[in-house]
Structure 1
Amino acid sequence: MVYKYSVIGLAVGSVLMTMPVMAEVSSDANIERINVTGRSFNDYKVGTASGAMRADIDLMDTPQSVNVIPYFVTDEQLATNLAEVLVNDSSVTAGTTRWNRQVFSIRGFELSSGNGYLINGHQQWSHYIQPIETLQQVEVLKGPSSMLYGQSGPGGLVNMVTKKPTYDSMLNIGLDTDGYGSTRGQIDAGGSLNDAQSIRYRGVLVKQDTQYWREYSTTEENQQRDRWLGYLNMEFDLTDDVLLSVKYDHTQDKAGIDAGGWLDAQGNVIGSNKTVWDAPWAFTDNTISNLGADLTWYISDKWKVKGGYNDQQFNRQRFDSAPQRTTDPFTNGYNIKPFDRYDDWQHKTAYIDFTGEFNFAAIQHQLLIGANYLDYFYQRQIVRGTPQTVMPGQPLIQPDIDYHLGTKSTASEYQYYGFYLQDLMTLSEQWKLLAGVRYDEQKKDGLGQNSYAVSPKFGIIYSPMENGNIYVNYSKSFTPQGAVSNQFDVNDKLDLKPEYGVQYEVGTKWELFNDSLLLTAAVFDITLENITVSETLPTPIASFTDITTQGGEQQHRGFEVGAQGQLSDNWFMTSSMMYLNAKYQTGDEREGKTPVDAPELSANIWTRYEMTEGLAINFGAIYVGERFANTDNSISKDGYVRFDIGAAYTMDIMGKDVSVRANVRNLFDTDYIEGGQYNMVTIGQDRNFSVAVETKF
């Protein structure tokens, strides 16, 4: 059955919206105490974001478009991965999920695994499905953020904020399952370990077994995933003014490979929506650990120093069948090129921030002076097997290959560091000025491939009324590009300049209904400069057949609106909408084309209505417009609307809160494609029922 919807109606509906805060703050001496409560049916609106300004500054004082997605909303949605969290922001669009990872774009620019994701402000290597059970909120920082975080893309960043230790004892035990037989068990515990409450902890343990809905072409077996996660965060009040936080998490995640579906020239899925072209013996096995510490010294009520370090170890075995797309796999079969590969990534990050407030020349200043550092290492081993031809429905022999027999590649290493200065100045009750600048340097492989960059940021906030403001900002990003590596290129070995992203943004933010509803809107213009252009020479010059230059541009213009909060005593909602016009200006075959997975219009809405004190119902809708599936824009993916519903009932059993939740995702069983290129598209899941039970002690 085909359903038709009014795009304009959906856009208007998405201008209504919501979200919440999840901690109560109290203080003892100069230590900030955060008491994380259990689930509250009144928490949709979040007031601060720690990532946008590298401090917990009110969103109304942040001259930048920022969306904060709290745990309470995604818990209602029974989200199990980061993709199911980020659907709550229409500026974020999904890409491929190939190799048991997730790719996203913000405002049409794809996020890099190396610098597009932060955890508590630390850059993470995010080449895997990020666990969300440890998160208190997810912050989508839109536009260039290099001034505070160094090399990053022009679209923005995703900052994941982890759960904090609690003063009071808590224990939540949850179990959820779905219509395919997937299960996930969770334990979330916290509290103090001594009477003085100077030592506190928060621990999370997760075991998940996922049965996917898609089936292998050769066996009709379903893809599966086995994951477990351990997380521990300890806080120590070393003195009344010094706080030490130590965090460790470990993820073991093994899953069958589903590189995605294939599209023909008309944009239709080749074969069935359920067909997995990868071999049933193909898998990825990820082992990720993070060990870090943060030390905060409250020098006075207005000044503090905070430093942190994180060591991320990421090891992956990928036993891959590497199926090769063909438009008619059922007649002549399709080819696979198997290999066994081991990847070793190491990310070591550190930072130190000095922040304070003071008055000078009748101006109030909120000052940030800081520096951060990244040490990156990567090495791999790989052994390739003999290519095979596969016929759907016929057995497929697993090759006898072992990555241990391969030769280790030359290690890829680089280090970069940056120094930054930011000042938020309150000029009067109505005017605020933000100014900041950063200097960065990257050293790579000891080969002289060094990159330098200066990243400024400016913002002005005008508040015509106490509950609203209008702001403008200018910000810049940079991404190092390395050197040309092609012996047949005229410019082989040439060091390329970094790509620079420049954004101009004008926005407004308003708090209505006694500050219970936050409305936002922004118009943005982002230009990515120094894009690398590689072309074939019309006439070869000696042995050179190619030429690589820089100077291309990519321009993304659009606007966003959003809302999060409480509309009435019983009605809560979060929603957003984005219009985007994205084009290449490169002078090559991409000229005038639109990047992959950059829809012109997208929108979302999620609501909760409380029928009684213990019963609540939910409704959600996601709209994503038509997107291109290849660079030359000859293949496209249709736009779609997906509807979700849910209900939750909380009861008291023997003095304990017990919650039961049931959700139906993709209520009308709509066929749709989430994202990805034509040879690895992620096909949207059909209608699925989920149920969860949670007990709080």
Structure 2
Amino acid sequence: MKLSPLYLALIASASVASAAENNDNLERIEVKGSYFNDYKVDNASGAMRTSASLLETAQSVTVITDTIVNEQLATTLGEVLTNDASLTAGSQQRNREVFNLRGFELSSSTGYLRDGHQHWSHYQQPIEILQQVEVIKGPSSILYGQSGPGGLVNMVTKKPTAQTLFNASADVDQHGSTRFMVDAGGALTEAEDLRARGILVKQDVDYWREYQNGENRERDRFLGALVVDYDITDNALVRFHYDRTDDEAGLDTGAWIDDNANVIGDDKTIRDMSWAFTDITVENLGVDFQVFLSDNWQVNIGYNEQTFERQRFESAARKPSDFMEGDSYESRPYDRFDDWQFTTAFIDFIGEFETAGVQHQLLIGANSLDYYYGQLRTSSDSIFYSAGQTEPTRPDISYKSDPTKSESEYDFYGVYFQDLITFSPEWQVSLGGRFDKQNKEGADNESFVPKFGVLYHPNASATVYGSYSEGFEPQSSDTLINESDINNGMKLDAVTSEQKEIGIKWQLFDDRLMLSSALFDISKTGTLITEQLDNPVGDIETITTQAGEQRHKGFELGAQGAATDRLFVMASTMYLDAEYVQGGARPTDVPKWSASLWTRYEVTDAIAFNAGAFYEGERFADSANTITKDAYTRVDVGATYKFNVSNTDINLRLNVENLFDTDYLGGGGDNNVTVGEGTNLRLAAQFNF
């Protein structure tokens, strides 16, 4: 009979206790400190779509746990992702967030996953339902299909447990913003074969920036989520999940800056009108099956329907090229309704077996995506406004008056395989490939991408690896459509990318602390370049080619876990040399150096302090590389106090963001930059019943 390590530990503990009772002279050792390493995770389900550990993954992967999210009182995905220096923020206009991973922008449609499903991420994600966030770096098309060269962000949701839980929390900041959350679940039957978990969140935000009529920007968000697990048999589980987000907020498309990257006017000024807003409703409904066919084979099946509806009433302020505070500027209001529908499905067969003394962990699978988008839009006459004037009234227009609906749709599917081959305790090889087909009117596409990696383990706690992977992104059309271009009608290939990466992963202090490093070289080719002809002929004025190439080279260093029994750390830094090969320009919002640090020190079992620092180097705000945003370091601190009252664990927390009130600019260009907030206090109370 095989005994689990936990069972053996319990037997040993009981034996020691019994011996102590019979021998008063036995030396007694008192151990203090944390036994649970809640900063470090050893597996990332999204990287390999299997249970392979990070030490068996020939790729750089960062896992941000919900412990860190809770300590930072994070309310957006952007606040979570600041913990990985390989991610930098882009524009945050219109109540959504844009990110660059290793310098490449993550697409809303292909850059994000939720539990392995491609996830439409054109909104601020409901992070309260997440167990952890996995940052998978480099092209990952082999397992997920269309995706960019920087990598993917996989959001892993919380699941039901047999143990009953009921957690409630409330937090508030100095502006009066509030968030209330309930997280409850447990077994619904005595046999514990039916389990559920539900999460409710109500958030009201008062932002620090103001409209020019003196009103504050506000946000009202509701989240409801339910997950139900049922054990059909001892070897089969079915999971149903549903979540809904209602999110309405005033619009802030960002500040305007001059050629020296100075904010024009007051940092608090919002150029949009106070009646501009966005109203979003997102629903996810799906089912997953996990069936163990034998001791060595299992099948995972997943299906998810995502419906995303949004009304956006814009004032659409436009910055004049030579704008100075007090000048008049134009707004072009419109009312718009968007309807996105994302339907995803996958089936994975995973097996572990041995052939000729060689171990295999084999994955064979297929996934698909059906995409639909529809838009209604109605515009009004232009409005001209300058500071000090009375704000113009909201135009009497509605998207419902649009008689024609603009629509587009496509679907793609792919089949893939991956094999992690273990030759010995020291040597492993990972290889795989994917065939992918897109069906879209005027943009059909087929692609095959390979992936290969070699792993060497000098000991059980270390890995040295090298890998090669490819990715692809189909064009919006299979031919160039531009009647004024000399190459009108030219056949277009998909944009492709490839990455070469070598790295080291090393676990220290009894595997409590993971150190990692990666050296990477990514190239993206096939982007369209349009140039004016020196000698136009008739109506032919331009020439377009697929010669565009983007090259990003750099390295990353990271540390995550417990440095001592009391000190926990998550730290990373990245150096990135990124450029467009033609012309040598650097992409916007991509610093050469970035770094992040978050720590917890437990003074006692009841009191702990946090400290963090987040650095971004100089970045360009425009594609011509003429406007440079300064480097900055933001320092955050926090403290928590835990106690128990009537069998209820209570956690009181105070966080101070931007402790030294540093002035800085976040992501965005000269007409949509995010201005960093000054010192901000957050208070929270968490109750575990």
TM-score, normalised to structure 1, is: 0.93
1:237 to 231, 242, 248: 231
Alpha-carbon deviations, 1:70-116, whole Å to 9, x = none? 00011000000000000000000000011111000000000000100
Post-superposition shift, 1:492?
A: 3.0
Aligned-partner Cα distance in 1 for 2:325–2:460: 66
1:193 to 176, 188, 192: 188
- Matched residue, 1:616: 608
Contact 1:482 1:496 in 2 (8 A): no
Alpha-carbon deviations, 1:278-299, whole Å to 9, x = none? 0000000000000011111101
Count, aligned residues: 655
1:325-364 matched pairs, under 5 angstroms: 325-326=319-320, 327-364=322-359
1:603 maps to 2:583:
no
Alignment gaps of 5+ in structure 2: 8-33
Contact 1:482 1:495 in 2 (8 A): no
Aligned-partner Cα distance in 2 for 1:263–1:44: 39
1:220 to 210, 214, 226: 214
**Secondary structure, counterpart of 2:298 in structure 1:** strand
Contact 2:35 2:565 in 1 (8 A): no
- Matched residue, 2:492: 496
Q: Which amino acid aligns with 2:563?
A: L
Contact 2:235 2:292 in 1 (8 A): yes
Alpha-carbon deviations, 1:359-381, whole Å to 9, x = none? 01211000000000000000100
Aligned-partner Cα distance in 2 for 1:193–1:467: 40
Aligned-partner Cα distance in 2 for 1:627–1:529: 23
- Matched residue, 2:159: 164
- Matched residue, 2:527: 531
1:561 maps to 2:553:
no
RMSD over equivalenced CA pairs, Å = 1.4
Q: Which amino acid aligns with 2:227?
A: N
- Matched residue, 2:401: 405
1:81-480 matched pairs, under 5 angstroms: 81-217=76-212, 219-326=213-320, 327-394=322-389, 395-445=391-441, 447=442, 449-480=443-474
**Secondary structure, counterpart of 2:179 in structure 1:** strand
Tell me whether 61-70 or 399-408 shows the greater mean CA deviation.
399-408
Aligned-partner Cα distance in 1 for 2:494–2:63: 30
Post-superposition shift, 1:655?
A: 1.2
Q: Which amino acid aligns with 1:450?
A: D
- Matched residue, 1:10: none
**Secondary structure, counterpart of 2:420 in structure 1:** strand
Aligned-partner Cα distance in 2 for 1:386–1:428: 72
Post-superposition shift, 1:332?
A: 2.7
Alpha-carbon deviations, 1:262-288, whole Å to 9, x = none? 111111111111111000000000000
- Matched residue, 2:30: none
Aligned-partner Cα distance in 2 for 1:227–1:173: 17
Post-superposition shift, 1:329?
A: 4.7
- Matched residue, 1:44: 39
Aligned-partner Cα distance in 2 for 1:553–1:441: 24
Aligned-partner Cα distance in 1 for 2:317–2:481: 27
Aligned-partner Cα distance in 2 for 1:522–1:359: 31
1:625 to 617, 636, 649: 617
Contact 2:367 2:415 in 1 (8 A): yes
1:541 maps to 2:537:
yes
Aligned-partner Cα distance in 2 for 1:386–1:534: 32
Aligned-partner Cα distance in 1 for 2:360–2:144: 21
Post-superposition shift, 1:41?
A: 6.5
Post-superposition shift, 1:491?
A: 2.9
TM-score, normalised to structure 2, is: 0.94
**Secondary structure, counterpart of 1:663 in structure 2:** strand
- Matched residue, 1:672: 664
- Matched residue, 1:35: none
Post-superposition shift, 1:25?
A: 11
1:659 maps to 2:651:
yes
Contact 2:264 2:325 in 1 (8 A): no
Aligned-partner Cα distance in 2 for 1:476–1:681: 33
- Matched residue, 1:682: 674
Alpha-carbon deviations, 1:152-190, whole Å to 9, x = none? 000000000000101011000000000000000000011
- Matched residue, 2:13: none
Alpha-carbon deviations, 1:172-223, whole Å to 9, x = none? 0000000000000000011011001001011100000000000112x12111
Post-superposition shift, 1:40?
A: 8.8
Post-superposition shift, 1:593?
A: 0.5
Contact 2:521 2:553 in 1 (8 A): yes
Contact 2:327 2:387 in 1 (8 A): no
1:512 to 495, 508, 522: 508
Q: Which amino acid aligns with 2:437?
A: E
Q: Which amino acid aligns with 1:678?
A: D
Contact 1:234 1:246 in 2 (8 A): yes
Aligned-partner Cα distance in 2 for 1:331–1:348: 49
- Matched residue, 1:7: none
Q: Which amino acid aligns with 2:299?
A: V
Contact 2:300 2:349 in 1 (8 A): yes
Contact 2:601 2:608 in 1 (8 A): yes
Aligned-partner Cα distance in 2 for 1:194–1:239: 15
- Matched residue, 1:4: none
- Matched residue, 1:639: 631
Post-superposition shift, 1:490?
A: 2.5
Aligned-partner Cα distance in 1 for 2:565–2:687: 26
Post-superposition shift, 1:493?
A: 4.2
Aligned-partner Cα distance in 2 for 1:301–1:640: 54
**Secondary structure, counterpart of 1:537 in structure 2:** strand
Post-superposition shift, 1:301?
A: 2.0
Q: Which amino acid aligns with 1:671?
A: D
- Matched residue, 2:65: 70
Aligned-partner Cα distance in 1 for 2:524–2:218: 39
1:4-43 matched pairs, under 5 angstroms: 42-43=37-38
- Matched residue, 2:20: none
- Matched residue, 2:570: 574
Post-superposition shift, 1:524?
A: 0.2
Q: Which amino acid aligns with 1:515?
A: D
**Secondary structure, counterpart of 1:411 in structure 2:** strand
Post-superposition shift, 1:334?
A: 1.1
